[in-house]
Amino acid sequence: MRSMTQLGNDLYSGKTSFPFVQRRRIWFLIAALLVIGAALVPLARPIQFSIEFTGGSQFTISNPATVDQSLATQAVSSVVPGASTRVTVINDEAVRVQTDQMSNDETQAVSAALASAYQVPSSEVTNSFIGATWGADVTRQSLWGLAIFLALTFLILALYFRTWKMSVAAIIGLVDVLVITVGIYALFGFEISPAAVIGFLTILSYALYDTTVVFDKVRENTREDGEISGRTFAESVNLAANQTLIRSINTTIVAVLPIGAILFIGVPLGARTLSDISLSIFVGTLVAAYSTLFVAVPLYALLRERESPIAQRDARVRSAREKAGVPA
């Protein structure tokens, strides 16, 4: 069995090659199914937005005798039957209860019910209200942040690589990451909060970094294309993806290990305030690693290989192979 070092050497030299570009129809089909599936998930399981986006009332019980979440649900229901309730335990020291918007009388009654349920003085129960206008403003700012990020990404990549087609491939890869990640959130009922949005922007940055590293190697390889290298454009792009494959795997592992530690060890032990951002980064990092290699790279090859100079050069390479009796 080959070691990772030997595998890396074989991938770099081309002795071993994974068909990222050659099998792109399969990868595009899988990507399309994932994106369509992710986009359809909210129709069956609506996306859960936090109170910062939807608005509502929030209660915080400090130093409770117990952190049993069912007590909060029962207390709220006893005052406002059928009220939507989301309960979160904060570091085993407090309980946060988020509900739909309530009137002043209902707020006071719920505060008293929560104080009684958790056996604390009324002074230990605080309440606040987040209006729908503020929630709409948060949503608008989040969308603006995403739009500005994508626009700057397109411009910077186009200037750096001197071709807008790399920008298009990278942006489509980023959108693929975002849609699938949000779809996973909806599928498993995860709540999207401002912290999760920050996590989404963070993973887009990671995906952009990963894509840029691979594209930089693509640019290096394609400069050597033609009769001298004996490779077609698609083969050079695929070689670049394979040459950076081990690096991508290692980077992904290094990234998800500490995040996974927070998510699967820290959160159960009480670090629940980090759950939203760590979850979004964990899921998004894994999706980003897939998207770079299976979406962005083969898409770039597809966009470029029909250009006249590249098509002519590829034809000469194939013709030379036929004359030399080299299999295509």
pLDDT in tens, 224-277: 665 566 788 888 899 999 999 888 888 899 888 888 888 777 666 655 667 777
Does domain 56-130 fall into CATH 3.30.2130.10? no
CA distance 189 to 204: 22
What is the model's pLDDT at position 88?
79
- pLDDT bucket at 81, cuts 50 / 70 / 90: confident
4-48+134-324 CATH: 1.20.1640.10
What is the model's pLDDT at position 229?
65
Write the pLDDT tens digit of every residue in 228-240. Answer: 667 888 888 999 9
What is the model's pLDDT at position 23?
93
Q: Which residue has the higher pLDDT, 139 or 249?
A: 249
Q: Is the CB of residue 129 less than 8 Å from the CB of residue 135?
A: no
Write the pLDDT tens digit of every residue in 198-222. Answer: 888 888 888 888 899 899 998 888 8
- pLDDT bucket at 33, cuts 50 / 70 / 90: very high
Q: Look up tokens 């209660």; give the residue.
A: 59
Closest to 231 in 3D by CA, of 156, 132, 301:
301
Q: Which of 6-20, 54-68, 161-175, 299-313 has the lowest mean pLDDT?
A: 6-20
- pLDDT bucket at 9, cuts 50 / 70 / 90: confident
What is the model's pLDDT at position 163?
87
CA distance 76 to 98: 10
Domain ranges of the chain: 4-48+134-324, 56-130
By residue count, the chain amounts to 328
Write the pLDDT tens digit of every residue in 91-110. Answer: 777 888 888 888 888 888 88
Does the pTM surpass 0.75? The reply is: yes
- pLDDT bucket at 326, cuts 50 / 70 / 90: low
CA distance 4 to 320: 35
Q: Which residue has the higher pLDDT, 92 or 315?
A: 315
> Which segments of 138-275 are extended strands (E)?
191-192
Q: Which residue has the higher pLDDT, 281 or 137?
A: 281
* Beta-carbon-side half-sphere exposure of residue 216 (alpha carbons within 13 Å): 8
What is the model's pLDDT at position 25?
94
Q: Is the CB of residue 94 less than 8 Å from the CB of residue 50?
A: no
Q: Is the CB of residue 295 less than 8 Å from the CB of residue 31?
A: yes
- pLDDT bucket at 79, cuts 50 / 70 / 90: confident
Residue 295 pLDDT more than 80? yes
Q: Which strands, in side-by-side order, build the sheet including 94-99? A: 85-90, 94-99, 56-62, 125-130
CA 47 and chain centroid, separation:
15
